[in-house]
Amino acid sequence: MANKLNAAILDKAVSDILAFSEGETVKINNEEKKGKKRKFTETVELQISLKNYDPQRDKRFSGTFRLPSIPRPNVKCCMLGSAAHCEQAERIGVDKMDVEDLKKLNKNKKLVKKLAKKYDFFLASDNMIKQIPRLLGPGLTKAGKFPTLLASGEDMQEKIDEVKSTIKFQLKKVLCLNVAVGNVNQDKKEIVVNTQLAANFLASLLKKQWQNIGCMYMKSSMGPSVQIYF
């Protein structure tokens, strides 16, 4: 599918976002804005507004796509694993819990909610994934964090990187979507490529593709929005 994003506009938007995050003054919509360097790594987000789409009548879509470079490297993972997987997690510095740890939560809704809040995503061994609803109740599912399966032969670090670089577009009741496409410590080219691929993938999910996209903006966590598609 043809990429409808104007390369020059996208390039300038990413340059401005990165310059703003470094504390430089940038000109956005003919207005000068003084940047500020933050004490944390800001995420760069793509924000999309759809048009000619009725969430009540049109098919709601959901799709995942793996970006070539990880947009949010600092997301936290917890391995709910077998003895072998827990050992592996310890070796690579990933938090882990085994069956006994999960039993200690005693299906307590508050504790399960706290666990879901503490991590961005979970991996689980195949022998554990079946037991999770019984051990924890529906808490992780409700939080949208039901574990991703880690099969016995899979490389844990590779699986973690895969989940970290996978984005999800899901239409619920509102026509606005947003997704992480990078962070301010990344190379400009990586953010540009991630953004182009994310936008094209979203268009491929829509009934009339690019005709269903009203506008697109990009912004860093604390920075101003920059329009890249009109």
CB of 56 closer than 8 Å to CB of 174 = no
| DSSP label of 215 | E
Sheet holding 148-150: strands in order across? 95-97, 77-80, 121-125, 148-150
Checking if the pLDDT of 1 tops 70, the result is no
* Mean pLDDT across the chain: 88
- Cβ neighbour number for residue 175 with a 10 Å cutoff: 16
Checking if the pLDDT of 79 tops 90, the result is yes
Give the residue among 3, 70, 51, 45 at the shortest CA–CA distance from 226. Answer: 45
The percentage of residues in the chain with a pLDDT greater than 90, rounded to a whole number, is: 40
The 10s digit of each residue's pLDDT in 127-155 is 888 888 888 888 888 888 889 999 888 88
Mean pLDDT on 69-85: 91
CB of 116 closer than 8 Å to CB of 139 = yes
Which residues, in sequence order, are CB contacts of 227 under 8 Å at separation 6+?
13, 29, 215, 216, 217
Checking if the pLDDT of 2 tops 60, the result is no
The residue with tokens 């101003």 is 224
What is Dmax (Cα atoms) for the chain?
59
Q: What's the pLDDT band for 107 if we cut at 50, 70, 90?
A: confident
| CA gap 70, 57 in Å, rounded | 35
The 10s digit of each residue's pLDDT in 157-192 is 999 999 999 998 887 777 888 899 999 999 999 999
Q: What's the pLDDT band for 66 if we cut at 50, 70, 90?
A: very high
| DSSP label of 184 | T
Structure tokens at 169: 């577009």
The percentage of residues in the chain with a pLDDT greater than 70, rounded to a whole number, is: 99
Please report the pLDDT score of residue 165 as a whole number: 93
Checking if the pLDDT of 3 tops 80, the result is no
